[in-house]
Amino acid sequence: MILTVTLNTALDLTYRVPALTPHASHRVTQVIERPGGKGLNVARVLGALGHETVATGFAGGATGATLRDLLAATPVRDELVGTAGPTRRTVAVVDTASGDTTQLNEPGPTVTAAEWTAFRTRFAELLDGAAAVALCGSLPPGIHVGAYAELIRLARTAGVPVLLDTSGEPLRRGIAARPDLVKPNAEELAQLTGAREPHRATRDARRRGAHAVISSLGPEGLLAATPEGLWRATPPAAVKGNPTGAGDSAVAGLLSGLVDGTSWPDRLTRAVALSAATVLSPVAGEFDPAAYEELLPRVKVTELPVPS
């Protein structure tokens, strides 16, 4: 099975409005509720691809109860740890005229020392039998910035490949713990390495400790620095829609290829096709299966020369 970790889960609310205008009242035409947070998004996509998937992290309060009820309707197994504080909400407002999305994210509950200890115990238990683990998203208040580095070391001790998808200081400390894969976007890479040129930033990030670094370039695809070489994967054309969750779908594609033992070009192809199919989906964070199958053979993967 694949284990995903979402320390800062969320109840995702998507509002669709005809047009989003500042300082104006809006009539919402559609409301969609779903379990959210980066790791839960990854888990849901992996489940839709047919992988046995387990989700852990934190959930609490009435919002957390709603999240768990919604998660129960998916193929994902719920191994979330309870908190006294309520799970946060995130609100995506989709302007149907332009296709643009405005995102509002609450910070999350403060996690106590006892709750963190309970989570670490559950995480260590779940590593037994895991084929891979994904550590995803922001840290809620109360969790120390070295938390992901701590979890990476636990996974490495258990012999479980680990992917890290976070930003800022948790990324900086996490990458030093030598995860198998990190997937930052271009801005997160620039903050980590100080380099704005994507090729240099990706290579610099790998030298900081990660086995492989996959940089998200948004609609332009992915750039990968791996032990087998440098790769660039691009979608066949720019797609227009709601990008919410597209990066999480890319993570799911990378993990799917990892546990299936496929080549890097295949992993990158899955990731780019899933990301584009998520943008095309009418529901934020879901992917369009027909679009995914149509895009797969059209993704272009190019091996790049390794700088001397």
pLDDT at position 286, please? Answer: 81
What is the structure's pLDDT at 9? 96
Rounded Cα distance between 229 and 245, Å, is 27
Q: Which of 69, 248, 266, 288 is catalytic?
A: 248
pLDDT at 149: 98
Looking at residue 90, the DSSP 8-state letter turns out to be E
DSSP 8-state secondary structure symbol assigned to residue 107: -
Query: What pLDDT does 284 receive?
Result: 59
Q: Which residues of 268-306 are buried (b: 16+ CB within 10 A; e: fewer)?
A: bbbbbbbbbbbbbbeebbbbbeebbeebeeebebeeeee
For residue 230, give the 3-state DSSP assignment: strand
CB 37 within 8 A of CB 9: yes
Task: Quote the CA–CA distance of 195 and 25 in Å, as a whole number.
Answer: 42
CB 233 within 8 A of CB 23: no
DSSP 185: B
CA distance 165 to 48: 20
Cα distance between residue 109 and residue 251, in whole Å: 25
For residue 242, give the nearest of 98, 53, 33 by alpha carbon.
Answer: 98
- Using alpha carbons, select from 169, 250, 179, 245 the residue that is nearest to residue 209: 179
Q: Is the dihedral of CA 5, 10, 11, 15 positive or negative?
A: negative
Asked about 248 being catalytic, the answer comes back as yes
Biggest CA-to-CA distance, the chain: 58
DSSP state for residue 220 in the 8-state scheme: G
Residue whose entry in the numeric block shows the structure tokens 């839960």: 40
User: What pLDDT sits at residue 101?
Assistant: 82
Q: At residue 35, what are phi and psi to the nearest 5 degrees?
A: -70, 130
Confidence (pLDDT) at 282: 67
Position 239 scores a pLDDT of 78
Residues in the chain where the model's pLDDT stays below 70: 282-285, 308
Report the run of H or E that residue 199 belongs to, with start and end.
helix 198-207
